Each structure stands twice: as structure tokens, then as C-alpha cells.
Amino acid sequence: MADIAPQVRCYVPLTPERARALLDDGSLLGDLVAFVVTDSVRRSDPGGDDEGWEYAALQDAAAYCLEQSEPVLVAAADVARDTIDDSGPTGSRVVVHGPISMPRIASLHVGDDLVGTAGEVSQADDVIELSWYDATELADVCALL
């Protein structure tokens, strides 16, 4: 049996153009900014657990969308560990060397502003409210954009 490269869940912020390209072409090309649970993330919350660290990485990806003045749209994808470059600064931000094909996309996370609810960052806890979509609902998500 052939060795299978370990997979890592990453959160890839998508622009509307990248979301449509994913829908039309079935993959995301190029070097992609993404957010993952890194050793730095684990060290920043030593009492945390996998679920909490994953949530933090997802929130970082959503915040990145806002920083870029883009709608909040994040694809959760499972990629081979060796496609991730985490040699940059500390935190959850990394670069994923694409392509990421549609079958690697596990889900989509959409800012609630796109689905007709409040969708603003709560000043009390800095949480960006997100709605979950299955990857098969990409066409519906693109319609929201």
C-alpha cells in the first residue's frame, strides 16, 4: 500500500472571483493565503484543544477577509502537509501551494452579512458570525456574492 501524505485542515479566504473560479474550474490555483493550527497557535493557548484551535484559525481567516475589504467567505480544505509553507511569522497564517481541487474542500463558511443577518464583528468578543455550507452548495454561495 502506498504511503498517504498527512492531511491538514486549512481555512482559505476566498474573494468572490476565487469562489467563482472554484465553481467554474473545480480548483484553486497558485499560492494561497490560508490559516491552520500551527505550533504557534497551540503555544498561544496551551490549555486549548483541537476544536478551539481550529475555531481560532477559522476566525483568523474570516478576519483576513475583512482586512482585505472582501466579503467573509472561507473554504475549509484538507491539503497535504507538504503543500503548506509555515515559515512566515508566528500565528495561524501560512501559504498553501495549490492547486486545491474541489474534492479537497470540506465546507464553506460565509459571513452572516452575506446571508441576511447581522454579520458584524461583535465588539464584546471579536467573534465573526459565520454560516456553514456544505461544499456542494458552492453555486448557492456564489449566488449570494
d(CA 13, CA 6): 22
**68: its cell numbers:** 482585505
pLDDT tens digits, one per residue of 51-62: 999 999 999 999
Chosen CATH of 7-144 out of 3.40.50.2000, 3.40.50.300, 3.90.420.10, 3.20.170.20: 3.20.170.20
pLDDT in tens, 11-54: 999 999 999 999 999 999 989 999 999 888 888 888 888 899 99
Confidence of residue 98 (pLDDT cuts 50, 70, 90): confident
Residues 6 or more apart in contact with residue 33 via CB below 8 angstroms: 12, 13, 64, 93, 94, 95
Specify the higher pLDDT residue, 66 or 5: 66
| Cβ pair 22, 14 in contact under 8 A | yes
Single-letter code of the amino acid located at 135: A
Mean pLDDT of 103-119: 78
Q: What is the pTM of this model?
A: 0.87
Among 80, 83, 79, 144, CA closest to 109? 144
Sheet architecture: strand order including 130-134: 84-85, 93-97, 31-35, 7-13, 73-80, 105-111, 130-134
